[in-house]
Amino acid sequence: MPELFDNHNRRIDYLRVSITDKCNLRCIYCMPKEGLSDFKKHRDILTYEEIELFVSHAIKQGISKVRLTGGEPLVRRDVVDLIRSLSGIPELHDMSLTTNGVLLADFAEELYKAGLERINVSIDSLNSEKFKQITRVGDLNIVKKGIQKALDVGFKPLKINAVILKGINDGLSDLKDFAKLTFDYPLHVRFIEYMPFSKEVGFKAGLTCSEIAEKLKTFGSLNKVDSPRGSGPARYMKFKGALGTVGFISPMSNHFCPECNRLRLTADGKLKTCLFSNDEIDIIGPMRNNHPEEAVKEVLSRALKEKPKDHSSALKKDFVRTMSQIGG
């Protein structure tokens, strides 16, 4: 199998693909309540054929893991068809999807049958009112049904992503709900530090992973455990007797740049080498105007040269894109 290495000798084998910048929620830390003024038109985003072409050529070069994300990936029409055709690529070893879970009860079975292996569901509060406050329009019960359905059809491991915000969902009762979830279900609850991508926020700040871990210790001792499959930079711990685990992803307080193995393809066809950098390499133009395989090869080789060693300099700038426009 071919392997890709960047200029800092990191092996790059993971591609995140955002398939839409649109979303059916409006999380306060991610998107303004009226949505984005510059949601992309259909003609300006990669078609499914172009995504498949990019992914299959990238796999030939050395990518072996792909995560589909957005915006909300399940709002794009015929997403199951995309998953079915990507899962037919023999060298693709791991395909996963990140979703807000709103449409999961409807889609879980089809997604599983189409060959999707793993799902991460984002859910920032297990309290209905707070969930509504954070997502502005979300209904917690619908997302819970989606999670149950995903467990029932066999998605394993099933991971939950939560961003903890000061004064919003950082109370002991909020964290106790997440801890309890790991006692009651074989779920892996991962706390992701808030990253300041957007200006419009409405809360003070995010909690660091050490602050969250300190609070969690109130509910029992936590022991380090091995990571479930496909865990990237998360560190995992478990309460004694729990079925699931808690994980910590700390992009702000503890950078994991030396282990970074990923590239990101945005819905509008730009390749990003670093989540925190405004730099991006156009792929939609070259793919539409030139020989697509050559275009992918050239863009990947440029990305490997340009991928920064770390994000320390990028963090000082204003961000051009929010997380929903990059693909989280």
Binding site for ligand SF4 (CB under 6 A): 23, 25-27, 30-31, 70-72, 100, 122, 324
Nearer to ligand SAM, 27 or 300 (CB): 27
Minimum CB distance to ligand SAM smaller for 57 or for 264: 264
Q: Is 58 helix (H, G, I), strand (E, B) or coil?
A: helix
Torsion (CA) 322, 324, 326, 327 in degrees, nearest 10 = 150
Judge contact between 158 and 187, C-beta under 8 A.
yes
Q: How far is the CB of 5 from ligand SF4 (least distance, A)?
A: 31
Extract the tokens encoding 128: 């209905």
Q: What is the DSSP string of 308-320?
A: -S-STTGGGSPPS
Q: Are strands 270-272 and 281-282 parallel, antiparallel or unpaired?
A: antiparallel
Taking CB within 5 to 8 Å according to partner kind, which of ligand SF4, ligand SAM, none is near residue 69? ligand SAM
Q: Which residues would be at the binding site for ligand SAM (CB under 6 A)?
A: 23, 29-30, 69-70, 72, 98-100, 122, 161, 163, 192, 194-195, 197, 323-324, 328
First to last CA, the chain: 28
Question: How far is residue 263's CA from residue 261's CA, in Å, rounded to a whole number?
Answer: 7
Q: What residue spans of 95-225 are helical by DSSP H?
A: 104-113, 128-135, 140-153, 172-184, 209-216
Q: Which is nearer to ligand SF4, 92 or 165 (CB)?
A: 165
Nearer to ligand SF4, 72 or 280 (CB): 72
User: Closer CB to ligand SAM, residue 14 or residue 194?
Assistant: 194
Q: Which does 276 bind (CB under 5 to 8 A by kind): ligand SAM, ligand SF4, none?
A: none
CB of 312 to ligand SF4, least distance (A): 25
Least separation in angstroms between CB 323 and ligand SAM: 3
